Structure 1
């Protein structure tokens, strides 16, 4: 007969078994499927939801809670590794706001001042005759030439190993600025590489170490780091790709420089960062306010740029944002302060457009209590054109359209545009297959199609000169004058032949006439050919080239500009 202990065990087992067979007093709720909101977001990212394609990671925070976080597609096409919320992406220029924040933390501690001269900390920066402050660098108003453009012109590939030391040596050789500090806004990565170096020199720690200790750890951003060593192994990282025919190829990135770029992070970690702007754990409210304040030029005007980020409006709603793009990585972080909403989207395919997806998400979440600003297209420039006229564009005869065909020169920035006729439509060409169609909305005014923003083109005459006026978003106006391209002969081209050297790039270009074009040769770049646009002005893959002459009319050098670098000088050897 079993002893008492054994009988108790048997009784307990029987009770457990019986209770397991009894119906629950609380019926179990049926499992719910995805919410309607989740299904909507999934539809937005259908293009990435394929393990055979580069992917996306998206995270959305509203009222302090992450309401959506998901990965799509592949983080590594060679091993079919899927993107998850823990996948770390290189976020390129989204890095810049972290760099400014680090500077402001040091300023708050009295270790530097935002208006200090950069040469106080990095004396290798040349004396350009004007003071360049940390504030100038943090707002893209320094006039410093952009590091990536300079390196390309010097023959570097952007998949080369590029270190902070390389950038600093390039900066040390510069002899001119693009403009006087504070006079203009012109995006410059160089400024943020310099700011990160200031953080390192003032703190006595590497920028990666400083940001880890002062930003990422306190904010519990456990999947974030600044990547200052291209050989460093990063777990759960994504690799970048670009389209090649019907498939993809690797878009290699070997950056070993920080400040302007090189933050590895996740979409969820970026939301932890965003939350710090609402309820600061790191930095004081004064630091947050400075970050979110519009920078101004010497004349007091603002330009939409704050510090390491930009202030924008979408359908009347203010938001603070920055995008990023290096190799095949694309990233976007947007904060909508009044709505307490933040959206982070990270991609590893070069054709992704995360900023568009972020605004589509915002459309679904922002309360429609802010009416969009009125479309102010009815001004003298557009001759009071109605929306109906824009949507129902006119049909103009080829005889009328041919009157506008030709080449147009914009003198302030020395560039050319060509207008030509194709299949009964006017085409606006920027060169190198960058073409937009023009839809007529009056006999001499056209709307540019398939471009971001509202761009209108109007053709007029002034003192027998044919003019082309381009108006962008009813704000910026550019007036170009028609001209006749130069007649090219081998003899005319031969005057430009020779070798030209830039001490600022430590680089030499060779020009030789060939088949009514100039061939450009460089020891690291592929040969390519250029033709004159107007007089001594040529457009090339490396930038716009304007040859200079001595008092006798002989070519003795040239200056080259390519957007973020202006008037860099090469002398003829």
Structure 2
């Protein structure tokens, strides 16, 4: 009996030791399975770093940094951070404010007088919170027929594109719309106020003091950067190079490692940059009607699995990135990838879930839609009969996003309005419905405004039931030009659609389908034609997700 007891005790101790070892290895093993798709010798991949309380940082790497030379990714590989870079530009502006050299309430034209006067000042705060109304410079050059990555662009050229715009997406401070233009202008503000480029300023005030020795800006894309991963996007069954060949930075362009990003996150948590800088980065603007944006000053604040999350993701060419921290849990995660088919937020939050709540069924970003508690819900997920009001059929149909043409289809199923994936619209009041964590608010049966939460709003209109005749389509034929985009399009019928051919680049064609009278759209673009008092077509107005209301004048019109 005594021998059996000793053996049992020994086995228990060994089991406990094995369990402890397994627990120690769990994050690495979990991540290894999570990143298995990007772990081979024929695929680009990622570097991942995790910082947890009272444990050494875990740094892992997967896949190849250079497929041509068979160079693997390591935790010290340099990647481009995409829009994760924005928080460093914002921090530079905040440091100058701390120095008393500028104020966030300053009109940007105080430092960049070459910008147009839009009637209402655009402040530095507007630039950093994406509430300026400035059109995104990348969307503008794409309208010109040169999407980012198809030709090199300098900082001065980007500034010229931004300054050429006579219109805004909306009045400053009225709403949120993500625009890289604000951060390009912020980089210029840093330079004109400090007398140093953003690259020089951040090196002296941020990177060197914090010991971020592997971090710099891609202010010269031709510069040789030892240890940098080549970026790739999918092509057929394999990959092809997809590098950001431009010198524009501030909105993106940070070259860094996962280890340096952990240093940065720790500095923010410890308020190492100076009094109030970390809090200012996280401060979120209040929009009209009391809406609060999730986007602060280069950082997004939200809740994940019940924990406060401060994060940002990024995508530039074939680079995909995510940086986040959970201050209350002292957890920090940095993810940098050179594979364009990676969803960085999904992967990073899967890692976060494993460390924050291992027993959770699914990450919040991947789980079933959030259901507001204001409306009774049946066990099946359908709205309880008492909550469904009569006459909901008037809201059923196909609607299009007025900026991107993306469709939303609403169907009436068992007395309940639902999306194609079965998500119900839960009545809150007449014409207003809860959808996931946001709302759809109808102003009549043919139009609604979607508020997904976080400060952003999107307008949708019903798609017209009757398509225009061939004769009606022919009336749109002509050349339309814009001096804001420096581009012209030749428009002509193409079957039941309109073909938009970029002048000088006939291979660049958009085929837009009719959505409503005088409105056509597809592939992220909506075009609305304008008529004079006699009904003659005089021009067109084009919109995309980050570019609203660009005017094109029809040739031959006064």
- Fold shared, TM-score > 0.5 on shorter chain: yes
Alpha-carbon displacement from aligned partner over 1:477-527 (angstroms, at most 9, x marks no partner): 154635543433332112111111111111111112233432211124612
1:385 aligns with 2:377: yes
Q: CA RMSD, aligned part only? A: 3.1
Structure 1 length as normaliser, TM-score?
A: 0.80
Q: CA deviation at 1:366?
A: 2.3
1:295-334 pair list within 5 angstroms: 295-334=285-324
Q: Residue 251 of structure 2 aligns with which residue?
A: 260
1:164 aligns with 2:132: no
Q: Residue 229 of structure 1 aligns with which residue?
A: 220
Structure index of larger Rg: 1
Q: CA deviation at 1:279?
A: 2.0
C-alpha distance in 1 between matches for 2:441 and 2:510: 30
Structure 1: give runs of 5+ residues left out of the alignment. Answer: 1-29, 392-401, 420-427, 429-437
After superposition, the Cα gap between the structure-2 partners of 1:113 and 1:243, relative to the gap in structure 1 and judged at 3 Å, is: same
Other structure's SS at 1:566 match: strand
> Residues 389 and 441 of structure 1 are in contact (CA less than 8 Å); yes or no, is this contact kept in structure 2?
no
After superposition, the Cα gap between the structure-2 partners of 1:299 and 1:82, relative to the gap in structure 1 and judged at 3 Å, is: same
Q: CA deviation at 1:122?
A: 0.7
1:198 aligns with 2:189: yes
Q: Residue 417 of structure 2 aligns with which residue?
A: 445
Moved more, 237-246 or 365-374: 365-374
Q: CA deviation at 1:458?
A: 7.8
C-alpha distance in 2 between matches for 1:102 and 1:554: 51
1:537 aligns with 2:537: no
Q: Residue 95 of structure 1 aligns with which residue?
A: 85
Structure 2: give runs of 5+ residues left out of the alignment. Answer: 1-17, 384-392, 447-461
Moved more, 69-78 or 535-544: 535-544
After superposition, the Cα gap between the structure-2 partners of 1:240 and 1:478, relative to the gap in structure 1 and judged at 3 Å, is: farther
After superposition, the Cα gap between the structure-2 partners of 1:57 and 1:458, relative to the gap in structure 1 and judged at 3 Å, is: same
Other structure's SS at 2:533 match: coil
1:326-405 pair list within 5 angstroms: 326-366=316-356, 375-377=370-372, 379-380=374-375, 384-389=376-381
Match of 1:494 among 474, 486, 490: 474
C-alpha distance in 2 between matches for 1:418 and 1:337: 37
Moved more, 526-535 or 188-197: 526-535
* Equivalent residues, number: 499
C-alpha distance in 1 between matches for 2:477 and 2:228: 48
Structure 2 length as normaliser, TM-score?
A: 0.83
After superposition, the Cα gap between the structure-2 partners of 1:202 and 1:455, relative to the gap in structure 1 and judged at 3 Å, is: farther
C-alpha distance in 1 between matches for 2:153 and 2:347: 31
Other structure's SS at 2:286 match: coil
Q: Residue 512 of structure 1 aligns with which residue?
A: 492
Other structure's SS at 1:194 match: helix
C-alpha distance in 1 between matches for 2:113 and 2:382: 55
Moved more, 563-572 or 487-496: 487-496
C-alpha distance in 2 between matches for 1:114 and 1:275: 25
> Residues 240 and 250 of structure 1 are in contact (CA less than 8 Å); yes or no, is this contact kept in structure 2?
yes
Q: CA deviation at 1:40?
A: 2.4
C-alpha distance in 2 between matches for 1:414 and 1:379: 31
C-alpha distance in 2 between matches for 1:60 and 1:51: 24
C-alpha distance in 2 between matches for 1:155 and 1:456: 40
C-alpha distance in 1 between matches for 2:269 and 2:137: 33
C-alpha distance in 2 between matches for 1:494 and 1:367: 60
Q: CA deviation at 1:361?
A: 1.8
> Residues 377 and 385 of structure 1 are in contact (CA less than 8 Å); yes or no, is this contact kept in structure 2?
no
C-alpha distance in 1 between matches for 2:406 and 2:370: 30
Other structure's SS at 2:170 match: coil
